[in-house]
Amino acid sequence: MDSGPDKLAIAIPWARGLLGLRNPVLAASGTFGYGVEYMPYGDLAKLGAFVTKGISLRPMPGNPLPRVAETPCGLLNSIGLQNCGVERFISEYLPCLPDKGVKVIANIYAHNLEEFAELAGILSAETKLAALEVNISCPNVEAGGLLFGQDPQSAGQVTAAVKKRSGTLPVIVKLTPNVTDISEIAKACADSGADMISCVNTLSAMAVDVRSRKPLLGKGIGGLSGAAIKPVALRCVWQVARAVSIPVIGIGGINTAEDILEFILVGAWAVQVGTANFSGPDMIFRLPTELASRMDELGIASLESFRGSLQM
Amino acid sequence: MLTITDCSVLKAAPLGDRQASKFFLLRLNAPGWTAEEWRPGQFVMVRPVAWESDLPLPRPFSICEVNKEELGLFFQVMGKGTARLGTLRAGDTVRVLGPLGNFFAMEADRPTLMLAGGMGLAPFLGYAHRHPKPQNLSLLFGHRPALDSYPFERLRGLGLLKNYHEQKPGDLRIFLQAVDESIQDNARRNGLILACGPMPFLRAVRDMGKKYGASIQISMENRMACGIGACQACVVKPFVEGGSADRPLPPVFRQGLPVPVCTCGPVFWADTVDLD
């Protein structure tokens, strides 16, 4: 039985209203290209939304190869945010996406506050976008290279800088798990005007080969994703959802409908599916239907009633 | 055409030493592609449906052979994933994404030299089978493991077919010498050269090609994740200048960013990408 789209529809509250999504299944940044790559495999409008690959002000060439390595239940990557820059994103990729029904969230990345603000300003004029997601897992060049997302003050400053220029787009701040206390960072973002939090980005990690005595990634260190990090992500979402009143979007190792429900149980409004998109490009398109079935099987009447209902 | 097909395993057949083989011909129920739907040089991403999240990535393989009944993929056990592919049983289901990527040039009447190093043999089986005039094809094959580890005997009817077994230091030099002479000869006859194998081999072939002004296509196999141009893991740096009237550089090359091997390749003209 198909429970129909209504059961899965969500309206996420933010400062200026509601972000209405067909369902809580989103595709995560960096795993879904600019959306167009996945159009042969499914209808983008059947997803809640998709988040673009990280977009910077100017094109970025990325990191040395190898850029990916598989680890047990996980994927290690150091793509280095190779991307075509905001101009080409707007002129080449956005026009390829359908005008209606597809929710596009642009993920943005910069090395200083001015660039973040400029990017937000440029993208806020794009009517095809539903929201901005701010990647703060990047070095703050002006603060000596510490990641924006590892310092509450910097995280708050980026949030405020983007908010000032984001116009009518809700701003989602994407948090790194590589911190001592993620709630503290989440609170700083919320206090600076973030409309939503998404978490988590990849875990800083490494893999090595004892024969060649080399790291498996060209850059040495990379970010771990996939099922291996799901328990870490769940913990982070749980902590953040209790620390802030703004909606949280869960990310980390989601492969199945049951995984989605786990994140909603600990307080997420929606989720992003990442590494699983590499297992098969059609995989994510099946998840909304599977989610509805799983809810029926478990007797979950609505996402609303289930959200954050974890019994401690 | 881009498709996802669930294919039944007919057999994961070990080649060579059956007890300890690391070389397999994975025979799958044909995904039903017509001859127009796939070209030699293209590849597929393969992932058994029984793999849950423990091995998240599909594995890319050159399309080795296709006929009405079967899709054949040739692979070597390199790690956990390929080891598990070698244990597949008849009736297991494998999800096949493809055919992906571009393909080798094919001109019936042009003398065509295929240069294969080790696993680089894989795409040339399909190429030889699809070629309308196999007598115009030559293949030089360099390998370290025994010849019966490779589906070499399935290549028949070529104008020239020769293997070079590298068993001791110095043998590689003999192979590369033969490659050099063949490239020179092919270039003199305005032929076409196709190469597939390890990166040092591809670099050597490129350098010899440059020396003799030969037309060479290489097939690359960088580590991939998505296979569809989304993740930017398998990129290669293209040259922004170059190309020629008969084969202009793809416009995406001129943008100065690395390009994905999965969608812009895996086949490239050797003088258009930076192999160093």
pLDDT at B35 over 70: yes
Q: Are A95 and A233 in contact (CB under 8 A)?
A: no
pLDDT at B223 over 80: yes
Would you identify the CATH topology of the domain B3-100?
A: Elongation Factor Tu (Ef-tu); domain 3 (2.40.30)
Of A40, A66, A281, the CB nearest to B226: A281
Q: How far apart (Å, rounded) are the C-alpha atoms in residues B155 and B125?
A: 6
Contact flag B54-A280 (C-beta cutoff 8 Å): no
Q: How far apart (Å, rounded) are the C-alpha atoms in residues B10 and A136?
A: 49
Distance from CA of A249 to the nearest CA of B (A): 21
Would you identify the CATH topology of the domain A4-62+82-203+224-306?
A: TIM Barrel (3.20.20)
Q: How far apart (Å, rounded) are the C-alpha atoms in residues B229 and B69?
A: 30
Burial class (CB in 10 A: 0-12, 13-18, 19+), A181: exposed
* pLDDT at site A105: 98
Q: Where in chain B is the domain with CATH 3.40.50.80?
A: 112-274
Q: Which residue of B has its CA nearest to A29?
A: B231
Q: Are B62 and B49 in contact (CB under 8 A)?
A: no
Which tens digits make up the pLDDT trace of B95-153? 999 999 999 999 999 999 999 999 999 999 999 999 999 999 999 999 999 999 999 99
Average of pLDDT values for B191-195?
98
Token pair of B237 as six digits: 């740096």
Which chain B residues contact residue A257 at CB under 8 A?
none
Contact flag A66-B54 (C-beta cutoff 8 Å): no
Catalytic residues of A: 138
Reported pTM:
0.96
Q: Is A61 on the interface with B (CB under 8 A)?
A: yes
* pLDDT at site B144: 96
Q: Where in chain B is the domain with CATH 2.40.30.10?
A: 3-100
Q: Is A42 on the interface with B (CB under 8 A)?
A: no
Q: How far apart (Å, rounded) are the C-alpha atoms in residues B95 and B91?
A: 13
Write out the DSSP string of A57-81.
SS-B--PPSP-EEEETTEEEE----
Q: Higher pLDDT residue, B18 or A131?
A: A131
Task: Name residue A123's amino acid.
Answer: L
Looking at every residue in chain B, the average pLDDT score rounds to 95
Taking a contact as any Cβ pair under 8 Å apart, which residues of chain A between 209 and 238 contact chain B? 226-227
Q: Higher pLDDT residue, B183 or A3?
A: B183
Q: Is A82 on the interface with B (CB under 8 A)?
A: yes
List, edge to edge, every strand of the sheet that includes B235-238. Answer: B259-260, B235-238, B273-274
Best mutation site among A44, A65, A71 for testing chain B: the one with the most B CBs within 10 Å?
Answer: A65
Other beta carbons within 10 angstroms of residue B213's beta carbon come to 11
Please, what are the averages of pLDDT over each run of 10 residues along chain A (312 residues)?
70 97 98 97 97 97 96 96 96 94 97 96 98 91 83 97 98 97 98 98 97 96 97 98 98 98 98 98 97 98 97 94
Of B4, B52, B232, the CB nearest to A41: B4
- Where does B112-274 sit in CATH, by number? 3.40.50.80
Write out the DSSP string of B157-195.
S-SEEEEEE--STTHHHHHHHHHHHHHHHHHHTT-EEEE
Of B81, B97, B255, the CB nearest to A280: B97
Distance from CA of A106 to the nearest CA of B (A): 15
Distance from CA of B212 to the nearest CA of A (A): 30
Angle ∠(A92,A96,A102) on CA atoms, nearest 5: 130
Strands A208-209 and A214-215, bridge-based pairing: antiparallel
Q: How far apart (Å, rounded) are the C-alpha atoms in residues A119 and A173?
A: 14
A1, HSE (Cβ side, Cα atoms, 13 Å): 6
Q: Which residue of A has its CA nearest to B53?
A: A73
Domain assignments of chain A as residue spans, ordered by start: 4-62+82-203+224-306
Q: Is A277 on the interface with B (CB under 8 A)?
A: yes
Interface residues of B toward A, Cβ cutoff 8 Å, are: 2, 4, 47, 51-58, 80-81, 95, 97, 222-226, 228-235, 255-258
* pLDDT at site B1: 53
Which is nearest to B5 in space by CA: A282, A273, A44?
Answer: A282
Best mutation site among A38, A70, A91, A109 for testing chain B: the one with the most B CBs within 10 Å?
Answer: A70
Which chain A residues contact residue B222 at CB under 8 A?
65-66
* pLDDT at site B208: 98
